[in-house]
Amino acid sequence: MGAGEWKEWEFKALTDIWTGDANGKGNRFIPTGLMGSIRWWFEVLVRGLGGKACDPTDGRVRCPNHGKRPNEADHHCVVCELFGCTGWARKFRLMVLDENGRVIQNQIKAKQTFILRFIPLRFIREEEWCLLNATLNLISKCGAVGGRTVLKPSKEWGIEDLGKDDLGVHNNQVIVKNSRKGLKLRKNDIILKIDGEQVSSIDDIERILKEKRHGDPIEIEVKKSNGETEKIKSWAGKRHHIDFGLVKLEHSPEDINCSRGEAEKYVIDSQWRKGFDYKPFAWASLKYFWCVKGKYLARLNNNESTFNMVIGRPSEKEKSSDENSDKWIAGYKATGGQLPESKKVFSFKNTNGKALTFGFVNPKEKIDPENMKSRLKDAWGDEFNPDIDFLTVDQILGELFNHS
């Protein structure tokens, strides 16, 4: 049978998936964006099982070991064995298909079914299929894929990126006081209807929009400054609060079956490259990962943010972070010669049945599991039971592997 039969995993997208093209546009589906996410979570899993995984974005540590030939031990790490590196080709081709078996070319949207078909190009070992299956289950249960997953939820309502402070009322008419470049709603527009429903106050707009997700499509009927009436195709909420990347695994191959012990034995095998320093990205491991299902962190209003409370930033919207903020967990933008650093907490409000918060701890930064539980308790109060809700490596691995 050559390299072996292909295997498929069927997913349902709970939110849109952002892969983005070279111009930063998200209307096209870019398979490499999804592939990169799957590899990243595969690395997280391997490190959590005791193996070492290189960082393919860092020239100081990425595979291969140029002192070894491709088929020699210590040439590449266990992740590169499957996903490839210079001099060692990836073992599979990934096809992303719709439910009718057609290649997906446009952005994957919420509620859309999609299929990941992995076609072997060379022999793939049972342990590799096992790790891949566990990775895809991990993403479905506790993770997210694609870009823009660092966007923060909000309980605040909005209309085409505008909020309550951008609107005014005069003679029972809602008027746009402030607008932004590139928006269809312009200053002095009068909002007459939203989705066909008459509005005469800001309370009317809040009532119509407060249960909608950020980014949900809406139709706004407005009266322009020239007196003409126009219907605008727009969106509810604010785009920087839109959830991206949540998926649910619906079906997986039935012939994949291995235990945690077998997976651990495979990733620590002496054939894999291990002699490199990966301290800068050692935190990206299931050992330091945590997950809380059914709860999310969000901006509540201009002065309160449970998300900022957890990452150590000021809650007030207009107040910048100070020098005492937890920069490791909060992340930071590129400045001067300093590269950007991602946040280590991710939260999703998603109304399709999967609110989710996950992140990483770093004992070296004095952020250990108990510290994180305390932060989340401060944010969620009695709704959060840290002994039950806060899932870590052993509980998560118990869900990913059988116990034989």
Mean pLDDT on 346-352: 80
The whole-number pLDDT of residue 316 equals 66
Eight-class DSSP state of 302: T
> Is the pLDDT reported for residue 402 higher than 80?
no
> Is the pLDDT reported for residue 249 higher than 70?
yes
Mean pLDDT on 335-356: 79
DSSP-assigned states of every residue in 357-398 = EEEE-BGGGTB-HHHHHHHHHHHHGGG--HHHH-B-HHHHHH
More confident position, 327 or 31: 31
Q: pLDDT by residue (tens digit) across 127-154? A: 999 999 999 999 999 999 998 776 666 6
C-alpha–C-alpha distance, residues 384 and 362, integer Å: 22
Residue pair 97/117 in contact by the 8 Å Cβ criterion: yes
State both tokens at 374: 């305390």
Positive or negative torsion for Cα 120, 125, 126, 127? negative
> Is the pLDDT reported for residue 317 higher than 80?
no
* 338 exposure class (CB count in 10 Å sphere: 0-12, 13-18, 19+): exposed
For the chain, what percent of residues have pLDDT higher than 90? Answer: 67
Fold of 164-237: Pdz3 Domain (2.30.42)
Positive or negative torsion for Cα 129, 397, 62, 346? positive
C-alpha–C-alpha distance, residues 31 and 104, integer Å: 9
Distance of CA 204 to the CA centre of its chain: 33
Could you tell me which of 262, 293, 284 has the C-alpha nearest to residue 388?
293
C-alpha–C-alpha distance, residues 132 and 41, integer Å: 10
Specify the domain boundaries for CATH 2.30.42.10 within the chain: 164-237
The angle, 0 to 180 degrees and rounded to 10, between the axes of the packed helices 126-142 and 31-48 is 100
Angle at 68 between CA 65 and CA 72, to 5 degrees: 115
Residue pair 390/290 in contact by the 8 Å Cβ criterion: yes
Eight-class DSSP state of 363: G
C-alpha–C-alpha distance, residues 215 and 323, integer Å: 34
C-alpha–C-alpha distance, residues 79 and 131, integer Å: 10
Q: pLDDT by residue (tens digit) across 37-88? A: 999 999 999 999 999 999 998 888 999 999 999 999 999 999 999 999 999 9
> Is the pLDDT reported for residue 325 higher than 90?
no
Residue pair 189/176 in contact by the 8 Å Cβ criterion: yes
> Is the pLDDT reported for residue 404 higher than 50?
no
pLDDT, mean over the chain: 89
> Is the pLDDT reported for residue 364 higher than 50?
yes
> Is the pLDDT reported for residue 372 higher than 90?
yes
For the chain, what percent of residues have pLDDT higher than 70? Answer: 91
Q: How confident is the model at residue 288 (pLDDT cuts 50, 70, 90)?
A: very high
Mean pLDDT on 381-385: 96
Residue pair 47/282 in contact by the 8 Å Cβ criterion: yes
The whole-number pLDDT of residue 1 equals 42
Rg (alpha carbons) of the chain, rounded to whole number: 24
Longest dimension (CA), the chain: 79
> Is the pLDDT reported for residue 240 higher than 50?
yes
Q: pLDDT by residue (tens digit) across 209-223? A: 987 777 788 999 999
> Is the pLDDT reported for residue 265 higher than 50?
yes
